[in-house]
Amino acid sequence: MFGFKKKKLELTMPVDGKIVSLAEVPDEVFSTGMMGQGFAIEPSSDEIYAPVAGTITNIFPTKHAISLKTKEGLELLLHLGLDTVELAGKPFEMFVSANQKVTPDTLLCKMDQSQITAAKKSTVVLVLVTSGEDITVTDVDSSLHGMTCGSVKIG
């Protein structure tokens, strides 16, 4: 009635690599969208950055997952690898802490892919919207950290 349009919030690649569909992730908790909509990246770098500007709301004690919230209220989860919770944080070096403000230029952590693959775990990085909004992957050819690769309608 008032002509309010939903705003789009752009998401950037949090790591260099190749975007893959969540449906291709070999873990049904993620591939079926139970944890939220999003996308996965087969990383070619160990450096993980924020996909949006926001605030770190939680870093799991095992360092395999980082939650963020934007000023618009969008909640995201970065999940680093599959079954990496079992590695007790060893392959991850954190550079941020809870309640810290971040941008897509903020290095969140380093993920030692060699340790993860040596433990026979997947290194796939998941970007999930946990607050219920739909995500649209806008550029599956994005391959470098910081490139716009998706958007979420908010508001």
Residues carrying an active site annotation: 79
Angle value at C-alpha 42, between 40 and 43, nearest 5 degrees = 115
**From CA 71, how far away is CA 7, in angstroms rounded?**
13
Residue 16 φ then ψ, to 5°: -65, 140
Q: What is the CA radius of gyration of the chain?
A: 15
Distances (CA, A) of 23 to 97, 121, 135, 138: 31, 18, 14, 17
Which residue type is seen at 73?
Answer: G
